[in-house]
Structure 1
Amino acid sequence: MNRLVLMAGVCAAALTAGAALAQTAPAQISDDKVKIAVLNDMAGVYADPTGMGSVEAVRMAVEEMGGKVAGKPVEVIFADHQNKPDVGASLANKWIDTEQVDVIVDVPTSSVALAVQEITRQKNRVFLISGGGAAQLTGPACSPTTAHWTYDTYALAQGMGTAGPKMLGDSWYFLTVDYAFGHALERDVSEVLKANGAKVAGAVRHPLNTADFSSFLLQAQSSQAKVIALANAGGDTVNSIKQAQEFGLTQGGQTLASMLMFPTDIHSLGLQAAQGLVLTDGWNPDRDEESRAFVKAYMARTGRMPSMIQAGSYSAVRHYLKAIAAAGTDEAKAVMAKMRETPVNDAFTKGGTLRIDGRMVHDMYLMQVKTPAESKGPWDYYKVLTTIPGEQAYRPLDKGGCPLAK
């Protein structure tokens, strides 16, 4: 009997010790690897500022970590969402359910980003948004596993809406891409313009990736507004600027203002056509030696200047991998907690902070496209007019309607 009691005591002690060991043992990496999926536009209107360029930027972040984190390999896969929410959602579900993807990155086209965010929320996966811009991603639709990294429509509005009336004119008309991003950008910029004394004369909306802007530009021209605000991006911005010049809008005294523009857009237009354009950007590639070194390394791989979206994808993944190393696990909420604890200091930004609503707060820049005489060489396109501190650029945490902020 005493022997049985003794054996029971030993077993109980062993179980207690085992439980204690389980509690103190480092967490594991699921499936013994970290799998990163880049989801964006590979062939359409946003392919230049995102596309394979974002994949290369993510690969650079992985290589900086030695291709491993917490002793486990890191794998990068990618796909084209074709700017369609149903395609993006289908890919996200497949990746998570059958391919054990841990994090989805980039996702331009806000309607796609909103669909993917709901999936990553439900399935407890990290979502690092660099390409999607709608501010509602960190507003009512916010998620505890999302980091909205590079820019949003609110920040773009703060830059252009505050300085625009003084620099460009006091009456504005919007040429807006007809989906969530364009609607949010038009709304946010309009509110700031009005608060700064400008009049919004109206707006016309065009389909995503349209080839013919003639009817929309004629409406903008007939508005007689001093400024035609382009609430679109990528190929739509390039085509609308080219066709606006063909229709004589700028020659007639109206000014074009791009709400969102990328170095590849300037490259497509040429400095002669793009000079003087004012825009808001989330990244200054000439900020310091670290940013310039990233640009040099990126251009050696791709032959072109990275957009803020591509630089943001690099930064977000780099910060994510460092958080996994610190947490010892790739479990989404644990990683997000580490990401919020740690300031973001890299080639993209200095002193960036990730809030509970998912917004990564960092400086924004009001830029102007250089004249051909000012440019020092290929891809030297921007000069900084002013730096907008992150606390001023981004919507206050208590004003966005994110349930997590409560």
Structure 2
Amino acid sequence: MAACAAAFSLAAGAAQAELSDDVVKIGVLNDQSGLYTDLAGPGSVEAARMAVEDFGGTVNGKAIEILSADHQNKPDVGSNIVREWIDVEGVDVVVDVPTSSVALAVQQVTSEKDTAFLVNGAATTRLTNEDCAATGVHYTYDTYSLAIGTGKAIVEEGGDSWFFITADYAFGHSLEEDTSNVIKENGGEVLGAVRHPLSSSDFSSYLLQAQGSGAKVIGLANAGSDTTNAIKQANEFGIVQGGQSLAALLMFITDVDSLGLDVAKGLKLTTGFYWDQNDDTRAFADRFSERMNGQRPTMVHAGVYSSVMHYLKAVAETNDDGGKAAVDQMKKMPVNDFFAQDAEIRADGRMVHDMYLVEVKDPSESSGKWDYYNVLRTIPGDAAYQPLSESRCPLVN
């Protein structure tokens, strides 16, 4: 009798699950006017639209809608948008959110409001450590995986002394710290660091300090136009010609396109996706490119598509778009698509998948525009991300 009652209770709970407001609303929040526009921006909105269309446009007969907004790389702006989205617009899941300081602020709001949060553009490992949330999934990459990929590879090749030029906010701090740990664990040393404001145009003083340090490697712990500006100015100063090398610790294919192969050739970087890996990645990239005036997708764009599709599958399975309910179901299902194979979402919210160490081609190797990478090696997911045993996330026993 007790077993029957328990079974009836579970069935009743499942029957009561429903989609709020009879619609699933997806809010894509990112930088649409600043230094991270190309790597996320309108491309992430388009990737989310593609996922919704491919899913069929409805979940269990209910419509799917997409909203988007520009957070201007400001935590207060981002958190206020999300709060209004949830309270007024009925948004059920927030997606993308590059700029780690904004993502951390948004995760506080989505956690309070039981709203799913799929992080694709932000990188800080705080999102799955001390600031983790039961409603959050860190999907595409993080600073630990970048350090394990690029930092370790360069140290192993003899680049054993480093000086960092670091973006002065949560992402830059996390990337510098994680890479410094990898450098020291592999027998290298960090000679110093200097921090710059977000969206800097003049890197001359920072580059001169790095040059004066005598470090073999200048680590760029920044992203977007901050990275490309630093590389362009380093090239003008003749820093590489003088014997030092540059390590772009977070770089996207759109950055390489902006720099050109003459400037970017030989740079090693770590990515979670390259459009020219196989038939499936090329098929997605071709469709994306048709909608984005020829641009190939970054790993953020690919991650947005994959995470939205995985979320919609979870909601369809449970008929529940509550944040924790949806994320709990996402954790139960493996991810198998063009972006990741046999990947999983752990208890801390980290989506564990393979990463790739690549090298930017010499112009003579490239067959044309967007043919930019040689894939040097695959970094298995269990090696690419912080071990769960080291997690500081309260959700992990």
Give the TM-score band, short-chain normalised.
over 0.9
- Offset at residue 19 of structure 1 (A): 9.1
Q: Match of 2:5?
A: none
Q: Match of 2:58?
A: 68
Q: Match of 2:15?
A: 25
Question: Residues of 2 paired with 1:22 and 1:219: CA distance?
Answer: 66
Q: One-letter code of the match for 1:374?
A: E
Of the candidates 306, 311, 316, which is equivalent to residue 325 of structure 1? 316
Q: Deviations over 1:61-108 (max 9, x none)?
A: 000011111111100110000000000010011000111000000000
Residues 78 and 102, structure 2, Cα contact 8 Å, conserved in 1: yes
- Offset at residue 41 of structure 1 (A): 0.3
Q: Percent identity?
A: 57
Q: Deviations over 1:208-255 (max 9, x none)?
A: 001111111110110111111110000000000000111111111111
Work out whether 1:34 is the aligned partner of 2:24. yes
Of the candidates 173, 176, 180, which is equivalent to residue 186 of structure 1? 176
Of the candidates 179, 183, 186, which is equivalent to residue 196 of structure 1? 186
Of the candidates 106, 110, 118, which is equivalent to residue 120 of structure 1? 110
CA spacing shift, 1:24–1:383, aligned 2, 3 Å = closer
Per the alignment, in what secondary structure is the counterpart of residue 375 of structure 2?
A: strand
Q: One-letter code of the match for 1:214?
A: S
Per the alignment, in what secondary structure is the counterpart of residue 329 of structure 2?
A: helix
Work out whether 1:244 is the aligned partner of 2:234. yes
Question: Residues of 2 paired with 1:342 and 1:81: CA distance?
Answer: 31
Per the alignment, in what secondary structure is the counterpart of residue 64 of structure 2?
A: strand
- Offset at residue 336 of structure 1 (A): 1.1
**Structure 1: segments with no counterpart, 5+ residues:** 1-17
Counterparts of residues 374-389 of structure 1 (less than 5 Å):
374-389=365-380
Counterparts of residues 2-401 of structure 1 (less than 5 Å):
22-23=12-13, 25=15, 27-167=17-157, 169-302=159-292, 303-401=294-392
Question: Residues of 1 paired with 2:11 and 2:269: CA distance?
Answer: 56
Question: Residues of 1 paired with 2:218 and 2:12: CA distance?
Answer: 62
Q: One-letter code of the match for 1:93?
A: R
Question: Residues of 2 paired with 1:349 and 1:180: CA distance?
Answer: 27
Q: One-letter code of the match for 2:381?
A: G
Q: Deviations over 1:105-135 (max 9, x none)?
A: 0000000000000100011000000001000
Residues 14 and 318, structure 2, Cα contact 8 Å, conserved in 1: no
CA spacing shift, 1:21–1:258, aligned 2, 3 Å = closer
Residues 75 and 105, structure 2, Cα contact 8 Å, conserved in 1: yes
- Offset at residue 332 of structure 1 (A): 1.7
Per the alignment, in what secondary structure is the counterpart of residue 373 of structure 1?
A: helix
Question: Residues of 1 paired with 2:141 and 2:259: CA distance?
Answer: 23
Q: Point out the more displaced range, 42-51 or 324-333.
A: 324-333
Name the TM-score, length of structure 1 as normaliser. Answer: 0.94
Per the alignment, in what secondary structure is the counterpart of residue 320 of structure 2?
A: coil
Residues 51 and 306, structure 2, Cα contact 8 Å, conserved in 1: yes
Per the alignment, in what secondary structure is the counterpart of residue 58 of structure 1?
A: helix
Per the alignment, in what secondary structure is the counterpart of residue 404 of structure 1?
A: coil
Per the alignment, in what secondary structure is the counterpart of residue 364 of structure 2?
A: coil
- Offset at residue 328 of structure 1 (A): 1.4
- Offset at residue 23 of structure 1 (A): 4.4
CA spacing shift, 1:247–1:74, aligned 2, 3 Å = same
Question: Residues of 2 paired with 1:296 and 1:20: CA distance?
Answer: 45
Residues 161 and 196, structure 1, Cα contact 8 Å, conserved in 2: no
Residues 234 and 261, structure 1, Cα contact 8 Å, conserved in 2: yes
- Offset at residue 25 of structure 1 (A): 2.5
Q: Point out the more displaced range, 165-174 or 350-359.
A: 165-174
- Offset at residue 182 of structure 1 (A): 0.2
- Offset at residue 397 of structure 1 (A): 1.1
Question: Residues of 2 paired with 1:173 and 1:62: CA distance?
Answer: 44
Q: Deviations over 1:267-320 (max 9, x none)?
A: 111011100001111113223211111011111110201110111011100100
Per the alignment, in what secondary structure is the counterpart of residue 147 of structure 1?
A: strand
Q: One-letter code of the match for 1:319?
A: H
Residues 344 and 350, structure 1, Cα contact 8 Å, conserved in 2: yes
Of the candidates 385, 402, 406, which is equivalent to residue 393 of structure 2? 402
Question: Residues of 2 paired with 1:139 and 1:25: CA distance?
Answer: 35
Question: Residues of 2 paired with 1:222 and 1:109: CA distance?
Answer: 30
Question: Residues of 1 paired with 2:213 and 2:17: CA distance?
Answer: 61
- Offset at residue 258 of structure 1 (A): 0.4
Q: One-letter code of the match for 1:281?
A: T
- Offset at residue 21 of structure 1 (A): 8.1
Per the alignment, in what secondary structure is the counterpart of residue 176 of structure 1?
A: strand
Residues 151 and 249, structure 2, Cα contact 8 Å, conserved in 1: no
- Offset at residue 22 of structure 1 (A): 4.9
Question: Residues of 2 paired with 1:211 and 1:54: CA distance?
Answer: 25
